[in-house]
Amino acid sequence: MEAPIRPDTLRLDGVRKSYGVGTPVETEVLHGIDLRVAPGEFAALVGPSGGGKSTLLNLIGLLDQPTHGKVRIRGVETDKLGDAERTVLRGRTIGFVFQYHYLLPAFTALENVMMPMLASRGRPGGGMEERAAALLDEVGLTPWKDHKANDISGGQQQRVAVARALAMNPALVLADEPTGNLDTNSADGVFDVLRAVNEASGTTFLIVTHDPRLAQRCDRIIELVDGRIVSDRPNANVVRRSGAVFSESARRIS
């Protein structure tokens, strides 16, 4: 018997997106995107501002729907889902990291990481606290877990945001300029953490970045210009680091 084929984490076929549909200012900003991302990939999405990266990420994150074409997440045809089903699929499958961390400032790092679990389950318990603590350990923040989100550095806040994105054990993490607000050192530290998670758990990452230095550390670079993918190539220069080196750098607090 043949082994079952694992579906792509992400598959887009002929995806088009227009804004202002039915109005005089209707504008198509994505012009037929075909894209496949396999489980465990660590890919960068690059391109000039206004090229459609955020629009594409919103469609992939099930925050918006294409005007034409199909978005499949782990083989599920998302256009066939109702709003409630899309919300469930998003919550169970996709983690988000944004340029700004959006942590709740009056809550501790640990509580912030527990939020998605609480929202999903409705009440504390069931090992949530232990899981949140383990995730904070993974991003090198154990000593800061009981600090309020307001009282830690920008790099540390973004690490908490990464741990929170992982709370529901997503197959896919979408990161939109996750290091855009950070200095070079902190950016490197956060990027190391993303990579370490990818290598340790096989989580798929799609990372929008303007920083060519960081894009060069991804396995694949997808370039979007004026609503079209103009290049999509494996990155031959990438150096995969061993878990040991990563766990060390993940613990270098920035």
Residues that bind ligand ADP (CB under 6 A): 19, 29, 47, 49-55
Nearer of residues 19 and 100 to ligand ADP, judged by Cβ: 19
- In this complex, which beta carbon is closest to ligand ADP, that of residue 59 or of residue 139? 59
**For ligand ADP, the closer CB: 54 or 99:** 54
Helix (H, G, I), strand (E, B) or coil at 234: strand
Name the minimum Å distance from CB 229 to ligand ADP: 12
Residue 32 and residue 14 in contact, taking contact as beta carbons nearer than 8 Å: yes
Residue 60 CA to residue 40 CA, distance in Å, equals 16
CB of 14 to ligand ADP, least distance (A): 18
Residue among 69 and 116 whose Cβ is closer to ligand ADP: 69
Q: Which residue has the tokens 């889902």?
A: 81
Closest to ligand ADP by CB, 54 or 153: 54
Which residue's structure tokens are 């993490």? Answer: 173
Cα separation, 254 vs 190, whole angstroms: 9
The Cα–Cα gap between 156 and 253 comes to 7
* Shortest distance in whole angstroms from residue 56 CB to ligand ADP: 7
CB of 10 to ligand ADP, least distance (A): 17
Minimum distance from residue 93 beta carbon to ligand ADP (Å)? 22
CA pair distance 235, 238, nearest whole angstrom: 6
Those residues whose C-beta lies under 8 Å from the C-beta of residue 215, and which sit 6 or more positions away, are: 44, 46, 209, 221, 235
Answer whether 194's CB lies under 8 Å from 249's CB.
Answer: no
